[in-house]
Amino acid sequence: MRPLKTSIALFVLALATMAYAAHHSSAAANHTPEGTVVGRIDACSGLGYAKPRYVGGTVLALRGAVRSVQTSAATGKLLLPSDVVARQQVPVGGQFHFRLLPGRYVIDFRHYVGGNVGTWASVTVRGGETVHADLPNMCITG
């Protein structure tokens, strides 16, 4: 009788172990690793030389891609996505750092202080990878 109880106990333990392992492996398979986007905000300068070299402000991570929309027969404009998935306050000279799910994003700095110029960068995030995306100086005249 004792070997039968031991066999049943071992069988139940094996079933429980398999169920636990199946649950945790499927949970791990469903977890999509995040990627990282880091960068700085170039200062707005018509000549390309500014102090400080990098400015601060609120940077947004927008899910999606920039679209071109025709506004008339001869003109168009760019539309940034509106789905804000993260925001970060960056100090002067500092760096933004976003952890995002894989996909397409626009990193956006809406307006320089005292001006109406904004800057943005399109990025594609892949799980486990880091993307460097400095926001460019959009005030350079050429």
The yes-or-no verdict on residue 56 having pLDDT over 50 is: yes
Query: Nearest CA to 34 among 88, 100, 98?
Result: 100
Residue 52, preceding peptide bond in cis (omega within 30° of 0): yes
Kindly report, residue by residue over 100-136, the tens digit of the pLDDT.
999 999 999 986 655 556 789 999 999 999 999 999 8
Q: Quick one: average pLDDT of 52-65? A: 91
The rounded radius of gyration (Å) of the Cα atoms in the chain is: 25
**What global pTM score does this model have?**
0.71
| Average pLDDT score over residue span 28-37 | 80
Report helix, strand or coil for 22: helix
- Between 7 and 27, name the one with better pLDDT: 7
- The CATH code that applies to domain 35-132 is 2.60.40
